[in-house]
Amino acid sequence: MTTNNDYAKNGEYKPIDMLACAAAKEVNDGDVVFAGTGLPMLAIALAQLEQAPNAVCIYEAGSVDGRPIDLPTSVGDSRCAYQASIAAGLAETFYGQLHCGYVDLAFLGGAEIDMYGNVNTTVVGDYAAPKKRFTGSGGNPDINSLAKRTVFIMLQEKRRFKENVDYITSPGWRIHRWPSGEWVHKKEVYGNYFFGGPTAVITNMAVFRFDEDGLMYLDSVHPGYTVEDVKENVGFDLNVSRVNGATSPPTYNQLDLLYKKVDPEGIFLP
């Protein structure tokens, strides 16, 4: 007999489903989550329907604890403010909530990441003469700065997991102290504002975490992939000594929730 809580088998779910479900697991009940557009929205919505009914979501455009009945397409969407506890603006979310210290968990994306969890969403190449421009920082580095834990959701590609990112848009565990440029632990730069940092990176292939020194290691590999597959898609020397087995795949119930309740219109889930 198959119950709703059984795991789906390989082929019964898409890579993006796996990503969303693995990410959702990072949410503890009661967390105050500050999330970006896209996959983070799926993850937080799914978590709220499962293990974290009391998790609360803040979107930078101005909504606190909204309860969208239709999935927002962006954090600026009025859908975010439906049945929200507060609808205000950026001063409220960035300063009145985030800088105030309320945020437990950040859910963010990134184009490139290094082994310290530094993320680039700005340019490819030298910033002063870039080869390619991405969207830019948005709230990514802000949310990541002061959240107690940050989970990055990314695509697994060698060119995205780099020894050094071309531009540190969002601060990991080792960063520069500007304007001098010293390379130090985040704690050194943030002082009393050091609340935490990146705790996980979730991709279409694996889950990565960070050790006591703030170095990324491989935690679990998604079904269908091997440790070697992951290593081949990481551009730096990845610590695989702490691999903790396979990531649990989505359950039938999760897939059901994702496609029928969270994103029935197929906005992020094709």
Partner 1 sequence: MARFEKITLQEAAGLINDGDFLSFSGFTIWRRPMALIYELVRQQKKDLHLFEVNGGTHTEVLAGAGAIKIWESCWVGHELYGKLGEGIARGQVEGSIIVEDYSHAQVVARQLAGAYGLPFFPTALSMGTDILNPKYDMLSKAGLRDGSNPKIPVKKYDVIKEPFFGNGEILMMPAVNPDWALIYASQVGDEGTVRVFSQTYVDAEVVKAADKVIVIAEEMVPDNYLRQEPEKNLAAGYAIDYVVECPWGAHPTGSQFFYDVDADFIRQFYQVSKSKKAFDEWADEWIFGVSGHEEYLDKLGINRLQNLRANSVLGYSTTVKRGTR
Site for partner 1 in 107-126 (CB under 8 A): 122-123
Position among 4, 51, 133, 163 found at the interface with partner 1 (CB under 8 A): 133
Return the range that interacts with partner 1 (CB under 8 A); candidates 15-23, 94-102, 208-216, 238-246: 94-102
Lay out the site mask for partner 1 across 226-245 (x = CB under 8 A, - = otherwise).
Answer: --------------------
Footprint (CB under 8 A) of partner 1, residues 2-41: 30-32, 37-38
What backbone torsions phi and psi does residue 141 show, to the nearest 5 degrees? -70, -30
As annotated, the active-site residues are: 60
56 vs 221, which CB is nearer to partner 1? 56
Tokens of 187: 């704690």
CA separation, residue 8 to residues 14, 25, 57, 239 (Å): 11, 16, 28, 29
Position among 13, 94, 107, 152 found at the interface with partner 1 (CB under 8 A): 94
30 vs 224, which CB is nearer to partner 1? 30
CA separation, residue 244 to residues 193, 248, 266 (Å): 32, 11, 33
Rounded to an integer, what distance in angstroms lies between the CA atom of residue 255 and that of residue 14? 10
Regarding 193 and contact with partner 1 (CB under 8 A), the answer is yes
191 vs 245, which CB is nearer to partner 1? 191
Return the range that interacts with partner 1 (CB under 8 A); candidates 15-23, 138-146, 152-160, 204-212: 138-146
CB 16 within 8 A of CB 204: yes
Rounded to an integer, what distance in angstroms lies between the CA atom of residue 30 and that of residue 219? 24
**Of 63, 21, 61, 14, the residue nearest 45 (C-alpha):** 21
